[in-house]
Copies of this chain bind each other. A is one copy, B any other.
């Protein structure tokens, strides 16, 4: 690996330069925790984008955010698809995604939709088809693709700096398990959490042919009660012959973790392993300590801005650097294969599953 290798441009800086003089006009549908973050980012942290409208089904929420951000608000998604809007960011509940994507596509708007694209593959496939048929951009919110560390590593892995990839490792652990009510509708650990690593595996290394999945509930019986897993381990076999291992957990008390490693015949790269909040080391009689990041919004704050920047550039004709609808469906299908593998206690060849994951 040559130290002279020119750093690849970050995905968020590829494509036409955006100017504050002519920003991409965006609306946001859905103003929950993540929706508010997207709306704030569009409004004030993405130089080439301007927030023009916010929508939430709950009137008080829509009004409060609209007033705070200085834009018109509404409870009707159709208002987010008007003539003053070029692109829409969909952060509504998952069951609404397919219909909202279809409406936005029909209105000719570029679409960024949070993951997962749909609750089931059949609906997801229809939504992706609608966008494609309408010829509109559809980007799915796999934000890790825009994390500076992951993106930079991926570029250098793809051009061969590590030689032939032998092993992919990835870890994603939340700090605290979501409420049981959320878990019940989450689609399960593999679809809700592992799917990020599965997308990442495809994006970093290539297609996955086989999965073998395990899972356990050791402590939190509420998780077992809704039929979900507390921790999971997935082994991958890539089409290239390389192997992969993913581990996930709902609750890493010591802090949110999203890290990985790619090992190749000429070197290895470790990604996102140092979850310090600040570049500080506290040295006390108890040892040398760094403070640890608590959640994904802190860890991936720059990634959430960068994914909107990349989306804006793509809207203006740049290449689509984010996950496409097809990428979203592929990752979701792998998650379905993991479920089957665990249920049947055997390795599952992904090709066994039909397009709807059955």
Interfacial residues, chain A to chain B (CB-CB below 8 A): 1, 3, 7, 19-23, 40, 43-48, 51, 67-71, 148-149, 152-153, 163-164, 166-167, 169, 173, 212, 214-219, 230-231, 233, 235, 237, 240-243, 245, 247, 249, 251-255, 263, 265-292, 345-347
Q: How far is the CA of A169 from the CA of B171 in the complex (A)?
A: 11
A263 touching B249 in the complex, CB below 8 Å, given contacts A214-B237, A235-B233: yes
Contact B3 A249 (CB under 8 A): no
Contact B169 A247 (CB under 8 A): yes
Other A-B pairs, 10, CB within 8 Å; known A235-B235, A255-B283:
A19-B68, A23-B70, A45-B45, A148-B277, A166-B219, A253-B266, A272-B280, A282-B287, A286-B289, A288-B289
Contact A1 B282 (CB under 8 A): yes
Contact A280 B271 (CB under 8 A): yes
A286 touching B345 in the complex, CB below 8 Å, given contacts A153-B280, A216-B242: no
Q: How far is the CA of A215 from the CA of B280 in the complex (A)?
A: 27
| List of B residues within 8 angstroms of A19 by Cβ | 67-70
Contact A265 B167 (CB under 8 A): no
Contact B283 A254 (CB under 8 A): yes
| List of B residues within 8 angstroms of A280 by Cβ | 149, 152-153, 269-272
| List of B residues within 8 angstroms of A217 by Cβ | 241
Q: How many monomers of this protein are in the complex?
A: 4
Partner of A235, one of B47, B212, B252, B272: B212
| List of B residues within 8 angstroms of A284 by Cβ | 1, 253-254, 266-268
Contact B278 A270 (CB under 8 A): no
Partner of A241, one of B216, B247, B269, B285: B216
Partner of A243, one of B216, B277, B282, B290: B216
| List of B residues within 8 angstroms of A291 by Cβ | 7, 287
| List of B residues within 8 angstroms of A173 by Cβ | 263
Partner of A67, one of B21, B251, B269, B279: B21
Smallest distance from the beta carbon of A212 to chain B beta carbons, Å?
A: 6
A288 touching B279 in the complex, CB below 8 Å, given contacts A68-B21, A219-B164, A267-B253: no
Closest 8 CB pairs of A and B: A44-B47, A21-B70, A3-B286, A267-B284, A254-B283, A149-B278, A268-B283, A270-B281
Contact B255 A20 (CB under 8 A): no
Task: Name the residue of chain B whose CB is nearest to the CB of A153.
Answer: B280
Instruction: Name 24 A/B residue pairs within 8 A (Cβ), A-sorted.
Output: A1-B282, A19-B68, A20-B68, A44-B44, A44-B47, A45-B47, A164-B219, A166-B216, A166-B218, A166-B219, A166-B249, A212-B212, A216-B241, A218-B240, A245-B247, A255-B285, A268-B283, A271-B279, A275-B288, A283-B292, A285-B292, A286-B289, A289-B289, A289-B290
Partner of A287, one of B51, B249, B290: B290
Smallest distance from the beta carbon of A144 to chain B beta carbons, Å?
A: 13
Q: How far is the CA of A235 from the CA of B147 in the complex (A)?
A: 29
Q: How far is the CA of A265 from the CA of B219 in the complex (A)?
A: 8
Q: How far is the CA of A168 from the CA of B291 in the complex (A)?
A: 21
Q: Which of A22, A242, A286 has the most CB of B within 10 A?
A: A286
